[in-house]
């Protein structure tokens, strides 16, 4: 086992003592960095960048050269699994991801394979191995996947959606078809994340971007039960070290207790949740990750620092807080503002760990 020079992110997820609150950002390797834009141009397009291990490694490491971050997150996409299942992923400029062959019925779903991650998604594992080697024990590497529900929304809607009418129509008129899809996706996510862990990911995260569009009852049935299945089947120790798992559902403030009860190590919070409230509700069971509004990074430095202080105050003294944004960093945020944020977390959190 390669010793980690900075393991405070992993320690915080396991609610162990740290010297300062660790911080990383969702989408920290991305379009707000000019060096990322240059590498993406070199790759030709987004998926070519994901599939080139050396370039995916380069963009994973770029934010670590600029900022004092406590973790690297693999540069990839949540839609790698549906792409590998043969749905024809492509990206329209300004419109986000789309699928050429969206799923419409039970027959489509029955044809879908459960993937062998080292075969159909071998490029992701190559990227994990390359990044882990190049990190050289500086900070831990986070692997990730989309949640079954979130992946299913793209696969049925054919892309992004505002009302999610197609997937909800299937949920309420053909629930057995949707459950078959979600079960297949859960099995694929388990294999995919365990392969990332075997390749070198030291922590994993499940992104449930669209769970919050469901009612509480439907969230339990169509989203959370499948994330629970994933948590139950993940490799939780590798290389002589625990592998923490974080679940993040956007707009899930009403259901924090249910998420914490899955057996995950940490719950990601978006910015609509009050940190003190979340700590009171579930902070003695799991670590909390979050949760500054990404738009706060447009503010002047003093306002960014004030917001960091308020969130630290909300969590209070004690272990189990990983500071992050409440969702991904926006593409037009000045990198200098991200630096103000990251440095403020480290500077202002010291008194909370003495």
Element (H, E) at 132: helix 122-135
**What average pLDDT does this structure show over 103-127?**
96
DSSP helix/strand/coil, 248: strand
Q: Which residues make up each annotated binding site for substrate?
A: 27-31, 77, 154, 209, 327
DSSP assignment of 177-212 equals HHHHHHHHHHHHHHHHHHHHHHHT-SEEEEEETTGG
| Residue 154 is among the residues annotated as catalytic for this protein | yes
Distance CA(186)–CA(336), nearest Å, equals: 39
> Looking at residue 162, what DSSP letter applies?
S
Distance CA(115)–CA(218), nearest Å, equals: 27
| Residue 31 is among the residues annotated as catalytic for this protein | yes
Residue 114 confidence class, pLDDT cut points 50, 70, 90:
confident
- pLDDT tens digit string along 167-177? 999 999 999 99
- How close are the terminal C-alpha atoms of the chain, in Å? 30
Distance CA(341)–CA(347), nearest Å, equals: 10
Domain ranges of the chain: 24-64+73-274
Q: pTM for this one?
A: 0.97
C-beta separation of 137 from 5 below 8 A: yes
- Among 66, 77, 108, 298, the active-site one is 77
pLDDT at 150: 98
- Among 32, 36, 154, 219, the active-site one is 154
Distance CA(116)–CA(9), nearest Å, equals: 30
- Among 8, 11, 15, 27, the active-site one is 27
Joined together, the tokens standing for residue 30 give 């991305």
Distance CA(311)–CA(3), nearest Å, equals: 31
- pLDDT tens digit string along 128-154? 999 999 999 999 999 999 999 999 999
C-beta separation of 251 from 211 below 8 A: yes
Residue 1 confidence class, pLDDT cut points 50, 70, 90:
low
Q: Would the pLDDT of 323 be above 80? A: yes
Q: Would the pLDDT of 292 be above 90? A: yes
- pLDDT tens digit string along 228-285? 999 999 999 999 999 999 999 999 999 999 999 999 999 999 999 999 999 999 999 9
Distance CA(37)–CA(30), nearest Å, equals: 8
For all residues of the chain together, what is the average pLDDT?
A: 97
C-beta separation of 252 from 245 below 8 A: no
Q: Which residues make up each annotated binding site?
A: 27-31, 77, 154, 209, 327
**What average pLDDT does this structure show over 44-69?**
97
> Looking at residue 50, what DSSP letter applies?
H
Q: Would the pLDDT of 309 be above 80? A: yes
- Among 31, 66, 236, 241, the active-site one is 31
Record: fold of 24-64+73-274: TIM Barrel (3.20.20)
Question: Checking DSSP bridges between strand 203-208 and strand 141-146, what pairing results, if any?
Answer: parallel
Q: Would the pLDDT of 308 be above 80? A: yes
């Amino acid at each position: 086992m390669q010793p980690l020079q900075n393991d405070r992110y992993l320690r915080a997820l396991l609610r162990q003592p740290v010297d300062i609150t660790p911080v990383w950002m969702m989408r920290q390797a991305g379009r707000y960095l000019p060096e990322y834009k240059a590498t993406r141009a070199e790759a030709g397009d987004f998926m070519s960048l994901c599939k080139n291990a050396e370039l995916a490694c380069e963009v994973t490491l770029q934010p670590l050269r600029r900022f004092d971050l406590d973790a690297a997150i693999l540069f990839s996409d949540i839609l790698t699994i549906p792409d590998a299942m043969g749905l024809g992923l492509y990206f329209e400029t300004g419109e986000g991801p789309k699928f050429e062959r969206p799923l419409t019925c039970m027959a489509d779903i029955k044809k879908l394979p459960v993937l062998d991650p080292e075969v159909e998604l071998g490029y992701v594992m190559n990227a994990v191995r390359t990044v882990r080697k190049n990190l050289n024990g500086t900070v831990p590497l986070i692997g990730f996947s989309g949640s079954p529900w979130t992946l299913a929304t793209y696969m049925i809607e054919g892309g992004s959606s505002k009302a999610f009418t197609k997937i909800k129509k299937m949920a309420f008129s053909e629930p057995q078809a949707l459950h078959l899809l979600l079960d297949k996706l859960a099995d694929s996510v388990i294999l995919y994340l365990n392969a990332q862990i075997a390749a070198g990911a030291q922590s994993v995260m499940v992104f449930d971007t669209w769970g919050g569009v469901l009612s509480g009852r439907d969230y339990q049935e169509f989203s959370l039960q499948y994330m629970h299945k994933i948590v139950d089947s993940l490799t939780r120790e590798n290389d002589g070290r625990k592998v923490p798992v974080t679940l993040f559902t956007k707009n899930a403030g009403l259901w924090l207790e249910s998420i914490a009860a899955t057996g995950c190590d940490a719950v990601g919070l978006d910015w609509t949740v009050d940190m003190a409230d979340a700590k009171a509700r579930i902070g003695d069971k799991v670590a909390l990750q979050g949760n500054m509004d990404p738009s706060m990074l447009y503010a002047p430095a003093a306002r960014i620092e004030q917001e960091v202080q308020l969130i630290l105050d909300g969590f209070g003294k004690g272990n189990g807080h990983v500071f992050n944004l409440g969702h991904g960093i926006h593409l037009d945020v000045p990198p200098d503002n991200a630096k103000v944020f990251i440095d403020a977390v480290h500077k202002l959190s010291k008194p909370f760990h003495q």
